[in-house]
Amino acid sequence: MNAPWKSGMSAARDPFAAFICDDNALDTLRPVVAELGWAPEKCAKGGLRNAIQSLSVTSSPNILVVDLSECSDPLTEINGLAEVCEPGTVVIAVGQVNDVRLYRDLLASGIHDYLLKPLAASQVRDALNDAQAVFSAPKAHDAQGAKRHVSTAVVGTRGGAGASTIATSLAWLFSDEEKLPTALLDLDVHFGTGALTLDLEPGRGLTDAIDNPSRIDGLFIERAMIRANTNLAVLSAEAPISAPLMTDGAAFVQLEEEFRQAFEITVIDMPRNMLINFPQLLADVNVITLVCEFTLASARDTIRILSWLKTYAPHARTIVVANKVQVGMGEIARSDFEASIERKVDFVLPLDVKSATRAAKLGQAFVEANKSAKMAGQLRTIANQVLSTSDEDVETEEPAGKKSLLGSLDLKSLLSTSKAAKPSKPASPAKTKNKSKGPAKADA
Ligand SMILES: Nc1ncnc2c1ncn2[C@@H]1O[C@H](COP(=O)(O)OP(=O)(O)OP(=O)(O)O)[C@@H](O)[C@H]1O
Ligand SMILES: [Mg+2]
């Protein structure tokens, strides 16, 4: 029983705890618990509600026995336990309702076993031995233990380019279609749309994290993150715009670290200014998804950010995604854009106002609301590329710290070329005095 993003806190975990409503059952349970080498005082008086209360402030034990006798609706109330239970906890329920359907439903909800009152010592012993064997058995999850964490920061080169649309879509694809435990961290602290897009209340989690970085641990993120689907947890804020961001970035680094333990994928919606203020946030990011538009301003800032990334995140793979593209309508043709940034654009996503509007109306990520849209297919390919990125894939094409192209590039010429010439002739690479990347590609 557990929520998928909970971090393992095995170091601090007790081997056993029980919350039992009546003295008779406690009298049967305690000697068996002592026999198995656990502390009998871990058998507390109380039922499911006490268990939930207690586990919401302490880490969960490896094995938990919980009495459902005082529950009017055990199946519903047991969900509250799932919210506070850490991964791998083996839960044995105790109750006085002899109903096979309840038994089956409890097992389906993640309970390991159900013991009927009055308890017999032998029955309790067998159940606890069995639970211990289950807890110690290698788990499917552990088998993948060596599987590394993948983290991508989605950065827009210009405001409104669609970085958040792409970040929420990638997070949704990883969590829902790939079924991977995924964290979405929206670092646009004042104006973030991560929660809004997914029709969630952002809560105070990120604000609390920024205010108290030392409190950030596995337990904190379990409590602070908002669940968007079974595998997706979101941390975002709508900080008051009267409150300037007061942080040295330590909280964000700590969050990234905790996410690496608790999830398989981290998607960071990373505003440009955060990149500049806290370059340390990219230290362990595997993939930068750089979202641009075919405009003059975006060309300038794509060049600048690519150059910056070579210095500050040479280890990371960069995927350049042009968004909101209308064939033949952009300020700059794709070929000119690619010539100016001295690399290919990896993906060209179309302007699709209808689908974007539909997603907004449904309160869903773009890909969730438009599963068969062309752009959704492209986003799936981007997600696969992110997933398949390994550290070895990243080539350092040029030495870090290379001078930005900007100084030698006549940006305006790109604009006039595409305006005047209906891009039959791309901007001359010579204009850029560039380091010969070959002829520019034809427009898509
Ligand atoms: N391909 C697209 N076609 C049409 N509309 C799009 C497309 N991509 C994004 N949008 C829309 O553009 C708007 C801005 O997108 P989004 O919020 O993702 O951009 P952003 O880069 O995160 O912006 P900000 O700089 O404010 O963080 C949203 O209304 C979104 O629905
Ligand atoms: Mg945004």
- Ligand 1 near 156 CB (within 6 A): yes
- Closest-lying ligand to the alpha carbon of 359? 1
pLDDT for 406 equals 55
- Ligand 1 near 356 CB (within 6 A): yes
pLDDT for 145 equals 47
Distance separating alpha carbons of residues 165 and 226, to the nearest angstrom: 18
Question: Which neighbouring-strand residues pair with 322?
Answer: 292, 348
Instruction: Tell me the angle at which helices 74-84 and 48-55 cross, rounded to the nearest 10 degrees.
Output: 20
In this predicted model, which residue has the larger pLDDT, 209 or 430? 209
Check whether 420 has a pLDDT greater than 50.
no
Check whether 223 has a pLDDT greater than 80.
yes
Å from CA of 125 to ligand 1 middle:
59
- Ligand 1 near 193 CB (within 6 A): yes
Distance separating alpha carbons of residues 396 and 313, to the nearest angstrom: 10
Check whether 91 has a pLDDT greater than 50.
yes
Smallest CA separation from ligand 1 atom 25, residue: 159
Check whether 394 has a pLDDT greater than 60.
no
DSSP string, 127-145: HHHHHHHHHHSPPHHHHTT
Contact 266, 259 (CB under 8 A): yes
- Closest-lying ligand to the alpha carbon of 158? 1
pLDDT tens, position by position, 11-70: 467 899 999 999 999 999 999 999 999 999 999 999 999 999 998 888 889 999 999 999
- Ligand 1 near 361 CB (within 6 A): no
Smallest CA separation from ligand 1 atom 31, residue: 356
Probe residue for ligand 1, chosen from 154, 155, 158, 165 as the CB with the greatest number of ligand atoms within 8 Å: 165
Check whether 395 has a pLDDT greater than 80.
no
- The number of the ligand 1 atom at minimal distance from the alpha carbon of 323 is 1
- The number of the ligand 1 atom at minimal distance from the alpha carbon of 156 is 21
273 DSSP 8-state letter: H
pLDDT for 428 equals 37
Q: In what order do the strands lie in the sheet with 113-116?
A: 43-45, 16-20, 63-67, 90-95, 113-116
Q: Phi/psi class of residue 319: alpha, beta or left (left: φ > 0; alpha: ψ in -120 to 50)?
A: beta
Domains located in the chain, CATH noted:
10-138 (3.40.50.2300), 150-432 (3.40.50.300)
Å from CA of 424 to ligand 2 middle:
34
Distance separating alpha carbons of residues 122 and 315, to the nearest angstrom: 58
Secondary structure of residue 227 in the 3-state scheme: strand
- Ligand 1 near 165 CB (within 6 A): yes
pLDDT for 390 equals 60
In this predicted model, which residue has the larger pLDDT, 238 or 142? 238
pLDDT for 107 equals 81
Smallest CA separation from ligand 1 atom 10, residue: 162
Cα 14 to the center of its chain, rounded Å: 28
- Ligand 1 near 205 CB (within 6 A): no
- The number of the ligand 1 atom at minimal distance from the alpha carbon of 291 is 21
pLDDT for 412 equals 64
Smallest CA separation from ligand 1 atom 9, residue: 162
pLDDT tens, position by position, 330-358: 899 999 999 999 999 999 999 999 999 99
| Helix (H) or strand (E) run with residue 275 in it | helix 272-277
Among 156, 165, 176, 174, residue whose Cα is nearest residue 387 = 174
- Ligand 1 near 159 CB (within 6 A): yes
Read off the pLDDT band of 118 (50, 70, 90): very high
Secondary structure of residue 69 in the 3-state scheme: coil
Share of the chain above pLDDT 90, in %: 62
* Strand ranges inside 242-399, DSSP E: 265-269, 287-292, 317-325, 347-350
Contact 86, 60 (CB under 8 A): yes
- Closest-lying ligand to the alpha carbon of 272? 1
pTM above 0.85, yes or no: no
pLDDT tens, position by position, 371-383: 999 999 999 999 9
Å from CA of 104 to ligand 2 middle:
45
Smallest CA separation from ligand 1 atom 29, residue: 356
Interior CA angle at 184 toward 211 and 237, to 5°?
Answer: 40
Check whether 112 has a pLDDT greater than 80.
yes
pLDDT tens, position by position, 272-327: 999 999 999 999 999 999 999 999 999 999 999 999 999 999 999 999 999 999 98
Contact 127, 181 (CB under 8 A): no
pLDDT for 58 equals 85
pLDDT for 376 equals 96
Å from CA of 271 to ligand 2 middle:
7
The stretch 130-144 carries a mean pLDDT of 67
- Ligand 1 near 349 CB (within 6 A): yes
pLDDT for 330 equals 82
Å from CA of 214 to ligand 1 middle:
34
* Strand ranges inside 46-160, DSSP E: 63-67, 90-95, 113-116, 150-156
Query: In whole angstroms, how large is the CA radius of gyration of the chain?
Result: 27
φ, ψ of residue 288 to 5 degrees: the values are: -105, 120
The stretch 86-100 carries a mean pLDDT of 87
- Closest-lying ligand to the alpha carbon of 357? 1
Probe residue for ligand 1, chosen from 155, 158, 164 as the CB with the greatest number of ligand atoms within 8 Å: 164
Interior CA angle at 373 toward 372 and 378, to 5°?
Answer: 100
Å from CA of 193 to ligand 1 middle:
10
**23-37, 71-85, 87-101: least confidently modelled range:** 71-85
Read off the pLDDT band of 266 (50, 70, 90): very high
- Closest-lying ligand to the alpha carbon of 348? 1
pLDDT tens, position by position, 158-215: 999 999 999 999 999 999 999 999 999 999 999 999 999 999 999 888 999 999 898 8
Read off the pLDDT band of 138 (50, 70, 90): low
Question: Which neighbouring-strand residues pair with 229?
Answer: 232
Start-to-end CA span in the chain (Å): 50
Interior CA angle at 2 toward 151 and 83, to 5°?
Answer: 100
Smallest CA separation from ligand 1 atom 16, residue: 162
Tokens representing residue 251 in the block:
């909280």
